[in-house]
Each structure stands twice: as structure tokens, then as C-alpha cells.
């Protein structure tokens, strides 16, 4: 794959307001105090090859990536045995890890799903985000919840043998399992012995919970395996949420990070930059600049919270 990462390392370091060494120092302090592992969702960076992406992520001061291994992902499931080792080697070369693997996997019925998990586990990936599940509005919810519970149980037991943790993201939207969080927590609580957990997305929690997000946080907190950070605002004309730069929207990041640190959470925090068109290669440099900006703002808020 031809690299679109044309600016040199020296160019990136010279043109950003924060040098790599400064970013590493700032993030190192944050990790030491809050025990947070700041990684980046690599969806906007999929136009880069594995080596260039890993080099860039290291320059930006992240500890690793949340890597897409799914249909349309940076690694496609059918090529996982060949391509994931290449990506993992690129990360390792740059002192990074795949903190979270994002997948379409939400059951073990598929041979491809099993292959993705086995390959990832053999390479040292410790956790993955499951594929989304939607309710059928025409069917009784209790019946569907029972089916979902069984699916989770089988997957979690399979993953326990591999020493890889399945995480389900709370995602806002009509008919989405886990959007309200209570249903997700009800399923996951019965599987705590297997290690199944939640990838808690504060943006989606605020979309669905509004002012009650602290209650949803407390309900889900015992099952946190990862935390996702992004922001949004409500559009008056469409009455729908729209993604915006971190710290400029509806999410109370000071309140959220204060609760997160006070809860003793120690684990990956993944920054999701989703307000630029990641599908357009021509906007790659804008996406990179936006990720840098979001990371800078996240660390600023974190410092403010810690006082």
C-alpha cells in the first residue's frame, strides 16, 4: 500500500505546537498520577500503512492504538493471519501496543470470528471490542435479552481460554442493545467470572442519559475494561447529535474525568476523533491535526482536574 504519510518526521515535530518529547513528558505524568493508558482509535489513520501509522502514533505520544480488525478495517478478518502480525510488529518496533482490538465479533459461531480471536490472542492482544447488537422491535425484549445473554456467555468462555477479554461498547441509537446501559450491565454482571466487560463511551452515555450520565457511570463502572472519549453537540434542525472536537460539546469532561480518577480506574482510554471525514484520503492531514488537538485538550482537562 502506498504511504500517504508524506510529511517527514522532522516536519511533523517542527510544525506542531507540542514536540514529541513534550507530549511524552505530559502524558507520562498523567499516567503516573492517574494510571491511564492513552491510546488512539486508528480508524481515521487507516490510509497509512502499518509502519507509517505506528511511527506517527508514537510521535503523537500515545501508548498504542485501538486497531480495527473488521470488515473495512485496517486489518480485514479474512487476512488476519497474515496482516495482524505485520501490524503488531510495526507497533512493537515503535514501542506501542494494540491496547484494544475493534472487531465485528459478537459470537463464536463463525470460523472467521474464532480465527480473529485466536490470532490476536497469540500475538498478545488482551482485549477486544465486540460487534454491535440491535434489538428486533417486533419481538419481546426479555426473550431477546435471554438470547443475547447466552451468546455473551459462550463468547466469554471461549475468550477466557485464550486470555483475551471481550468488551461491549454502549452505543447510542434506536434499537441498540446497551444504549441505555442497564441492559448491558444486567448481562455482563452474570459473566464477571469470565472477564467480560464494558467499553464505556462517555459520549454515547451522555447522548442517551443526558443529565443522568453519572448514574449510568456508577452502574457500569464495576465492569469497565476500556473508556472511550469523544464529544458531540445537538443539531437543532435534525435533532440529532453531531461529533465535535473534544471539550467543546455537551460532555462534561471535568466532571467525567474527576469521577473516573476517583473511581480508581486503571486501563486504556481511547480517543475517538470522528468529526472529520475519515474516508477521504485528502483529509488525512486534517484528521491528524484534529487528533493532536483532541489529545492536547484531554491532557489539559486532566491537569485541571488533578489540580
Domains of the chain from N-terminus onward: 9-306 (3.20.20.150)
What would the pLDDT profile of 91-138 be if each residue is shown by its tens digit? 999 999 999 999 999 999 999 999 999 999 999 999 999 999 999 999
Rounded Cα–Cα distance for residues 241 and 92 (Å) = 37
Q: Is the confidence at residue 156, as pLDDT, over 50?
A: yes
Rounded Cα–Cα distance for residues 305 and 10 (Å) = 33
Judged by DSSP in three states, 100 sits in strand
What would the pLDDT profile of 221-270 be if each residue is shown by its tens digit? 999 999 999 999 999 999 999 999 999 999 999 999 999 999 999 999 99
Which letter does DSSP use for residue 239 in this model? Answer: T
Judged by DSSP in three states, 15 sits in helix
Residue 101 region by backbone torsions, left for phi larger than 0, else alpha for psi between -120 and 50, else beta: beta
Rounded Cα–Cα distance for residues 197 and 188 (Å) = 6
What would the pLDDT profile of 36-64 be if each residue is shown by its tens digit? 999 999 999 999 999 999 999 999 999 99
Q: Is the confidence at residue 33, as pLDDT, over 80?
A: no
Residue 110, CA distances (Å) to 65, 99, 113, 156 in order: 26, 24, 5, 15
Whether 101 contacts 129, CB under 8 Å: yes
**pTM (two decimals):** 0.88
* Least confident segment among 14-28, 139-153, 190-204: 14-28
Residue-averaged pLDDT of the chain? 90
Amino acid at each position: 500500500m502506498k504511504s500517504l504519510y508524506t510529511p517527514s518526521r522532522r516536519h511533523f515535530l517542527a510544525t506542531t505546537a507540542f514536540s514529541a518529547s513534550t507530549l511524552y513528558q505530559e502524558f507520562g505524568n498523567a499516567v503516573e498520577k492517574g494510571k491511564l493508558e492513552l491510546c488512539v482509535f486508528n480508524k481515521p489513520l487507516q490510509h497509512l500503512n502499518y509502519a507509517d501509522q505506528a511511527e506517527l502514533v508514537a510521535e503523537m505520544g500515545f501508548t498504542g492504538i485501538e486497531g480495527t480488525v473488521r470488515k473495512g478495517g485496517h486489518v480485514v478478518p479474512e487476512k488476519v493471519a497474515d496482516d495482524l502480525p505485520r501490524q503488531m510488529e510495526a507497533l512493537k518496533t515503535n514501542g506501542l501496543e494494540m491496547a484494544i482490538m475493534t472487531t465485528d465479533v459478537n459470537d463464536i459461531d463463525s470460523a472467521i470470528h474464532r480465527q480473529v480471536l485466536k490470532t490476536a490472542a497469540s500475538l498478545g492482544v488482551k482485549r477486544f471490542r465486540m460487534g454491535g447488537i440491535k434489538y428486533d422491535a417486533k419481538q419481546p425484549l426479555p426473550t431477546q435479552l435471554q438470547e443475547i445473554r447466552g451468546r455473551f456467555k459462550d463468547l466469554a468462555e471461549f475468550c477466557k481460554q485464550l486470555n483475551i477479554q471481550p468488551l461491549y461498547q454502549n452505543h447510542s441509537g434506536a434499537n441498540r442493545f446497551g444504549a441505555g446501559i442497564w441492559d448491558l450491565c444486567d448481562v455482563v454482571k452474570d459473566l464477571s467470572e469470565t472477564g467480560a466487560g464494558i467499553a464505556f463511551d462517555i459520549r454515547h452515555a451522555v447522548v442517551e442519559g443526558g443529565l443522568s450520565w453519572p448514574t449510568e457511570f456508577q452502574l457500569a463502572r464495576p465492569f469497565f475494561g476500556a473508556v472511550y472519549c469523544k464529544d458531540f453537540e445537538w443539531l437543532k434542525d435534525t435533532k440529532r447529535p453531531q461529533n465535535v472536537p473534544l471539550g467543546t460539546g455537551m460532555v462534561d469532561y471535568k466532571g467525567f474525568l474527576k469521577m473516573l480518577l476517583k473511581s480508581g480506574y486503571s486501563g486504556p482510554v481511547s480517543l475517538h476523533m470522528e468529526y472529520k471525514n475519515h474516508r477521504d484520503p485528502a483529509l488525512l492531514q486534517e484528521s491528524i491535526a484534529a487528533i493532536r488537538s483532541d489529545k492536547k485538550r484531554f491532557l489539559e482537562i486532566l491537569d485541571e482536574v488533578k489540580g
